[in-house]
Structure 1
């Protein structure tokens, strides 16, 4: 399964030059950039772990690219994403979010259906990855 998550999720993986161009776009707009990682990519899991602090007042993408490389090296089998925040409206708003790394094997999700009163059916996504404990969810078989 290929997880669709973030701005460029239906496009091929970004090259390093394309990644640098997107980060430069965010910096040119004055958006601070943050890097996050997780081993639970459920669509409703918005609480990913932060890699360092958000990076403010940068002019060039080199520092962000270096931090992305460090995060990828530290967590080679987890999802890593880049977020850019726009604070013009007086609150933290995500202006841009995209994956920069995914595990080599993505186990996917199971669609669970439950029936309630009056023939009501409810659906839920349950990730196969969370059947393993945190830290062991994307190990190679």
Structure 2
């Protein structure tokens, strides 16, 4: 089962041509774009590592695609995503985000249930990947 994350999460993985089209869509609306990566894709982990600086004032997606490819090369076993920000309301809001790379094998998540008083139940989501040390989570090591 693949991790479902971002705008196009239930579609097949995007090709580079489709990624370029989505980046072009964002740039045409004046949204700055950034590239981020992580090896802990927990749904509440919203703070991924930024690769390079956000890309402002671009007209064509070539610069973003080059940065995506550099990030893929530097972190072949990590998740890589593209974010586009809309600042038109006077604050930075995520307008679009989607994955452009995922590890070859995704271990998934454990849903842990804890029973409490009066038949209450609490649930926690834990990534199987985090049982390994950082750097070894998706390498098979």
Q: TM-score, normalised to structure 1's length?
A: 0.98
How many residues are paired up? 141
Does 2:50 correspond to 1:53? no
Distance in 1 between residues matched to 2:76 and 2:8, nearest whole Å: 20
Residue 40 of structure 2 corresponds to: 40
Which 5+ residue runs of structure 2 have no aligned equivalent? none
Which 5+ residue runs of structure 1 have no aligned equivalent? none
Residue 3 of structure 2 corresponds to: 3
Residue 86 of structure 1 corresponds to: 86
Distance in 2 between residues matched to 1:140 and 1:120, nearest whole Å: 38
Residue 118 of structure 1 corresponds to: 118
How many Å apart are 1:16 and its aligned residue? Answer: 1.2
Runs of 4+ in 1 over 4 A off after TM superposition: none
**Residue deviations 1:29-77 (CA, integer Å, cap 9, x gap):** 0000000000000000001000011100001100000000000000000
Q: TM-score, normalised to structure 2's length?
A: 0.98
Distance in 2 between residues matched to 1:116 and 1:90, nearest whole Å: 44
Distance in 2 between residues matched to 1:13 and 1:107, nearest whole Å: 18
